């Protein structure tokens, strides 16, 4: 799959947001623009943020200060701003209050659209309640809610008063929530009585209550009445949203904050060990999110943007802040992509005239199981761009998405970064040609490279993804754990190189690809392979829908491959099919990597953000302790792995 399959039109190249930046930089192509962006990162961020029109209460006097070393770089020194100033206040003040800001769609396809003025009004009321409760700048507030419109209100209300928001997946259990709230020292929690998923009530408040009992610092829960379910209610501690937010007079004050004031604590979704709290600032979030949504996704006023995500995954805050700052319209959705009908996502694109769709590759593999005609009969003409992140693509699913969802008219902007960055290391631009599965290259302003084990740049071979210069949105250490932060990112290659832990590959044409996390790497008889390559070979078989590959100990080879395959609907399991799948791996990767076993399962364990949890699969297969399963949406699938032996 080395051929270029997408080339932008002349109109796209001329009218893209990034074309303005290219003219200011005096360059004509992607490679030259990226080289300019990292030759002087201070200059790049100055020009880019002015071009994107970010607002400041007081403009910064120094773009960045790395005098204490890369790990401790400070950004936009002397500046004062607030995310809410840029996302709400300035739009309403400029007379754009009647523009649609937020579309909320519920599981049952009902919903409501809020204008910028309406969203600002509700945020002001919620912010006023927080001040009534004694919340001060720097206080930490959890957000444990389904993906309904009020979750956006809660986030912006925290930011408006200078509190630090801690978004958490509403599918997490009470223990996972309590660990995060205790670690952060949260003083309040936004939650809901429940939500709906696939037509069924999904309780939320019972788990919130159980968690709060373990977090003595939490004084109040602000509870959205989403379902009307009968829930416990503790007077004084618990406050109904409709009684205390909607009835309060708006408080329009937005805190004037230093650039480096913390905005969010996002916890990484690892399934073992204590969760790591990554700390992100107001100016850092604004810089990176505006750059990525403005240039990589070409978001403009009038666009309607939807990413299939949750507030607990970094893509939730990323899209909320970025889309609103750029004055476009965001859609949030609490349900599943294929319920009640397999084409639910395409129905939503048609109903809301969405211009941007963001998905994880796993979601596309799920939709693909329904067949090639899934999108037929739906008007997808409004769609101009598809986004993806979360895990590596396989070529067949990428091409299916390109052909059947984007109708070969939309680029797939495949991005990759992490919670620690709340943004991207790698990212195409809408003006770049694309090969299947590519991320094209480093994001603007990101001095990214691929190193071999000795710390030397490598091309044409698998290597470690690294960052050689700081960026505004990199985490400010881990909350309360500087030593772990330094060990995680700066121990492998020294304190001047950020080691990210992804395997990357740059081909002969300069196109970049990812092959999974380095801790997922499989090493068979000295041949190192990312699990994504094995999985891509498996799902190329016409009867395979999804796959996960893990390395297991082998006395002779060091490791061997065990593969878990989900077949397409109504396909019969057989030994012949098992052999065909194994042969497919051999055909693509050679005899050395023939799987030791191919096991059939009905589903693969995944996080709520659709990432396959290979570490959990491996530990369960080996009979080891699987660790904390809080991030796994379908824990029954973990036991199914063992049952497939």
Q: What is the CATH number of the domain that holds 630?
A: 3.30.300.30
Q: Copy the structure tokens of residue 31.
A: 């490679």
Least-confidence region, from 72-86, 232-246, 521-535, 544-558: 521-535
**Is the separation of the CB atoms in 143 and 158 below 8 Å?**
yes
- CB-CB neighbours of 410 under 10 Å: 21
At residue 129, what are phi and psi to the nearest 5 degrees? Answer: -65, -45
Say what the pLDDT of residue 271 is: 42
**Is the separation of the CB atoms in 586 and 593 below 8 Å?**
yes
Alpha helices in 387-514 (DSSP H): 395-400, 482-489
599, pLDDT greater than 70: yes
Cα–Cα distance measured from residue 112 to residue 214, given in angstroms and rounded to the nearest whole number: 36
Q: Copy the structure tokens of residue 54.
A: 């970010």
Say what the pLDDT of residue 366 is: 87
Say if strands 62-65 and 74-77 run parallel, antiparallel, or are unpaired: antiparallel
Per DSSP, what are the bridge partners of residue 140?
A: 164
Cα–Cα distance measured from residue 413 to residue 297, given in angstroms and rounded to the nearest whole number: 7
Q: Considering the domain boundaries, does residue 559 fall inside one?
A: yes
How confident is the model over 467-490, as pLDDT tens digits?
Answer: 999 999 999 999 999 999 999 999
272, pLDDT greater than 50: no
Q: Considering the domain boundaries, does residue 407 fall inside one?
A: no
- Tokens 């492998």 locate to 492
Which helix H or strand E contains 127, and what residues bound it? helix 116-132
Percentage of the chain surpassing pLDDT 90? 84
Cα–Cα distance measured from residue 506 to residue 438, given in angstroms and rounded to the nearest whole number: 10
Q: CA 71: distance to chain centroid?
A: 23
Query: Which whole number is the average pLDDT over 169-198?
Result: 94
61, pLDDT greater than 60: yes
Q: Considering the domain boundaries, does residue 264 fall inside one?
A: no
Angle separating helix axes 636-643 and 614-621, nearest 10 degrees: 40
Say what the pLDDT of residue 132 is: 98
Per DSSP, what are the bridge partners of residue 270?
A: none
At residue 243, what are phi and psi to the nearest 5 degrees? Answer: -90, -30
Q: Considering the domain boundaries, does residue 123 fall inside one?
A: no
Total domain count, the chain: 1
348, pLDDT greater than 70: yes
Alpha helices in 185-291 (DSSP H): 205-212, 241-244, 282-291
Q: CA 41: distance to chain centroid?
A: 24
Q: Considering the domain boundaries, does residue 403 fall inside one?
A: no
How confident is the model over 241-270, as pLDDT tens digits?
Answer: 999 999 999 999 999 999 999 999 999 854
Range of the domain at 624: 537-643
**Is the separation of the CB atoms in 632 and 611 below 8 Å?**
no
Q: How confident is the model at residue 627 (pLDDT cuts 50, 70, 90)?
A: confident
pTM to 2 decimals?
0.89
The candidate with the shortest Cα–Cα distance to 290, out of 330, 261, 318, 262, is 318
Q: Considering the domain boundaries, does residue 280 fall inside one?
A: no
Q: Considering the domain boundaries, does residue 181 fall inside one?
A: no
Mean pLDDT of the chain: 94
Q: Considering only CA atoms, give the Rg of the chain.
A: 24
7, pLDDT greater than 50: yes
Q: Considering the domain boundaries, does residue 130 fall inside one?
A: no
Query: Which residues, 6 or more positions from 197, have their beta carbon under 8 angstroms from its beta carbon?
Result: 107, 146, 334, 335, 336, 339
Which helix H or strand E contains 233, and what residues bound it? none
Q: How confident is the model at residue 553 (pLDDT cuts 50, 70, 90)?
A: very high
The candidate with the shortest Cα–Cα distance to 44, out of 71, 25, 72, 16, is 25
4, pLDDT greater than 50: yes
């Amino acid at each position: 799959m080395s051929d270029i399959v997408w080339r932008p039109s002349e109109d796209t190249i001329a009218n893209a947001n990034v074309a303005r930046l290219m003219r200011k930089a005096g360059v004509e192509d992607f490679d030259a623009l990226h080289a300019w962006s990292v030759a002087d990162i201070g200059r790049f961020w100055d020009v880019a943020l002015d071009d994107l029109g970010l607002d400041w209460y007081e403009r910064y006097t120094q773009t960045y200060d790395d005098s204490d070393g890369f790990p401790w770089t400070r950004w936009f020194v002397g500046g004062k701003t607030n995310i809410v100033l840029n996302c709400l206040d300035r739009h309403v003040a400029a007379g754009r209050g009647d523009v649609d800001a937020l579309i909320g769609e519920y599981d049952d396809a009902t919903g409501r659209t809020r204008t910028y003025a309406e969203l600002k009004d509700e945020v002001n009321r919620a912010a006023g309640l927080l001040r009534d409760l004694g919340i001060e700048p720097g206080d930490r507030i959890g957000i444990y809610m389904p993906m309904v419109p009020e979750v956006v209100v809660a986030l912006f209300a925290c930011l408006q008063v200078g509190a630090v928001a801690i978004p958490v997946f509403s599918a997490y259990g009470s223990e996972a929530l309590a660990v995060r709230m205790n670690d952060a020292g949260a003083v309040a929690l936004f939650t809901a009585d429940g939500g709906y998923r696939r037509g069924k009530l999904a309780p939320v408040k019972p788990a919130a209550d159980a968690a709060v009992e373990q977090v003595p610092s939490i004084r109040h829960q602000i509870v959205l009445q989403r379902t009307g379910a009968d829930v416990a209610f503790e007077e004084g501690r618990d406050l109904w949203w409709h009684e205390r937010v909607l009835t309060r007079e708006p408080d329009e004050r937005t805190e004037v904050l230093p650039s480096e004031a913390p905005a969010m604590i996002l916890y990484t979704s690892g399934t073992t060990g204590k969760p790591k709290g990554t700390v992100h600032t107001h100016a850092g979030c604004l810089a990176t999110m505006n750059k990525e949504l403005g240039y990589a996704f070409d978001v403009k006023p009038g666009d309607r943007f939807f990413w299939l995500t949750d507030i607990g995954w970094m893509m939730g805050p990323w899209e909320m802040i970025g889309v609103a700052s750029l004055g476009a319209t965001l859609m949030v959705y609490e349900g599943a992509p294929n319920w009640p009908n397999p084409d639910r996502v395409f129905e939503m694109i048609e109903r809301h005239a969405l211009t941007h769709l963001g998905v994880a590759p796993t979601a596309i593999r799920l939709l693909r199981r329904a067949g090639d005609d899934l999108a037929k009969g739906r008007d997808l003409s409004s769609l101009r761009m598809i986004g993806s992140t979360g895990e590596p693509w396989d070529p067949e699913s990428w091409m299916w998405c390109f052909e059947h969802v984007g109708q070969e008219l939309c680029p797939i902007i495949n991005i990759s970064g992490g919670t620690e960055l709340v943004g991207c290391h790698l990212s195409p631009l809408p003006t770049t040609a694309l090969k299947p599965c590519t991320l094209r290259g480093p994001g603007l302003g990101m001095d990214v490279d691929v190193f071999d084990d000795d710390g030397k740049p490598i091309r044409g071979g698998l290597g470690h993804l690294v960052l050689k210069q700081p960026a505004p949105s990199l985490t400010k250490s881990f909350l309360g754990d500087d030593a772990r932060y330094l060990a995680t990112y700066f121990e492998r290659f020294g304190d001047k190189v950020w080691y990210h832990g992804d395997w990357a590959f740059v081909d002969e044409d300069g196109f970049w690809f990812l092959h999974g996390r380095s801790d997922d790497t499989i090493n068979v008889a000295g041949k190192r392979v990312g699990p994504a390559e094995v999985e891509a070979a498996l799902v190329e078989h016409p009867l395979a829908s999804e796959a996960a590959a893990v390395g297991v100990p082998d006395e002779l080879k060091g490791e061997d491959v065990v593969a878990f395959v989900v077949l397409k609907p109504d396909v019969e399991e057989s030994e012949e099919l098992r052999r065909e799948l194994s042969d497919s791996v051999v055909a693509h990767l050679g005899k050395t990597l023939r799987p030791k076993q191919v096991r059939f399962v009905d589903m693969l364990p995944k996080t709520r953000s659709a990432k396959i949890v290979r570490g959990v699969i491996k530990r369960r297969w080996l009979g080891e302790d699987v660790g904390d399963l809080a991030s796994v949406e379908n824990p029954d699938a973990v036991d199914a792995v063992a049952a497939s032996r």
